[in-house]
Chain A
Amino acid sequence: DTGVSQNPRHKITKRGQNVTFRCDPISEHNRLYWYRQTLGQGPEFLTYFQNEAQLEKSRLLSDRFSAERPKGSFSTLEIQRTEQGDSAMYLCASSPSSGGKETQYFGPGTRLLVL
């Protein structure tokens, strides 16, 4: 069990550019979640997957955001036409089964800075 991994750990980009983040969950975890955390706040839910199916998207996830989990393993989160307000820590988590009540385990996060 190697834990949840995320890449890159840090990303600096210019406003208007596209960025893509990757999350590798704990092996055999069915559920994968994305959260966003801004400075001084708790993480906020963005979206989650049950295997490859995206089951819920928060209103925080604008049309510029898209997430995929094509084979039910790793996931990518893409932000198109980045804005300064997108600067945040993007956290990925996974949990072991479909019940939705199990412990969620978090990765180290990707810190995004949009200049």
Chain B
Amino acid sequence: GQNIDQPTEMTATEGAIVQINCTYQTSGFNGLFWYQQHAGEAPTFLSYNVLDGLEEKGRFSSFLSRSKGYSYLLLKELQMKDSASYLCAPRNQAGTALIFGKGTTLSVSS
């Protein structure tokens, strides 16, 4: 079966660092994507990991451990505009479609 687990909600303050964890179980594995989605808007691509380790992209970094079925998204120097849902989406080996969890809603306050 397929299962993705992320915290439902997180809160943080401007300028802080926050880590959003994701654990997953899929039928095979073909990489993991992180997307950001503001309410009522389209998901926008943040990062892609297929090998173990950390991928850094500006204020955002994403980490993957395939053996543990675990990933996290690290957001640094938080800004108010980072308030959004963050979706962890592994891709199983069989197909090319993404499997989305329900996402983590992050609220950033001043």
User: Do A and B belong to a common assembly?
Assistant: no
